[in-house]
Amino acid sequence: MQNNAPLPERVLIIAAHPDDIEFTCAATVAKWTDGGSQAYLVLATSGDKGTKDRSLSPHRLAEIREAESLASAEVLDISDVIFLRKLDGEVEADLAFRNQLSALIRSFAPDVLLTHDPWRRYQIHPDHRAVGTAAVDAVVTARDHLYVPEQLAAGLEPHHVSHVFLFSTDSPDHLEDVSDFMDKKLEALGCHASQVGQVADWRDRVTLWAEQTGELIGVQYAEAFKHLELR
């Protein structure tokens, strides 16, 4: 089991829903940005189905959740949030989405990509599977110049991503010590009032989860990833 990655220069995070990264990798992002990394977040959907409140329209909910994401991004010192505004629950890992993500990878030129583990067993949320699949596939598309020639023609040079860290994984092989950044994770998650407001003990649950992960490497708190090193 590895722990603690070298500090990335540029990190691109691709997630399905506004609060996905706060539950899974926000403390790692906070650690990296605190160390000087530049981080960019791409949200495939604005989470327009994430409520049990029947008085909220999907449009209004998406507005609320985008504002929550921007507040959280400020806590985590994420430089920019890109909202792709696909419909929540209806994301498909089709060629158009893959190419859209490839253009973003070429444009931000990250050395590290963070996304959902698309191979996690028994993952029932279709968006988590689709976004993870499209993001990993886009790493290949972004890498070689003959893919999507119109991107090259538009000035988007091919880009090689060196490291992919998959969150929400059931096969972790990289545990990042985030003991000094748990407060940032909880503060960022607290920005998502429309979500955590429905769960009374969310702080305890998220803290316990990070504690149990930390125990595996003898630190107070950790976050778990599957690490792909790409040569």
Q: Catalog residues that contact Zn ion under the rule CB under 5 A.
A: 16-17, 20
Of residues 125 and 227, the one with the C-beta less far from Zn ion: 125
> From the CB of 111, what's the least distance to Zn ion, in Å?
25
> From the CB of 164, what's the least distance to Zn ion, in Å?
18
Of residues 20 and 177, the one with the C-beta less far from Zn ion: 20
Residue whose Cβ sits closest to Zn ion = 17
Distances (CA, A) of 201 to 190, 196, 197, 198: 12, 9, 10, 9
Of residues 19 and 177, the one with the C-beta less far from Zn ion: 19
> From the CB of 75, what's the least distance to Zn ion, in Å?
19
Of residues 130 and 156, the one with the C-beta less far from Zn ion: 130
Of residues 68 and 177, the one with the C-beta less far from Zn ion: 68
- Name the residue among 84, 76, 68, 91 with its Cα closest to residue 195: 68
SS3 content of the chain, % helix, strand, coil (to 5): 45, 20, 35
SS3 79: coil
> From the CB of 50, what's the least distance to Zn ion, in Å?
8
Contact predicate 78/186, CB 8 Å: no
- Name the residue among 225, 230, 227 with its Cα closest to residue 24: 225
Q: What's the CA dihedral at 10, 11, 12, 13 to 10 degrees?
A: -170
> From the CB of 220, what's the least distance to Zn ion, in Å?
26
- Structure token pair of residue 146: 């003959």
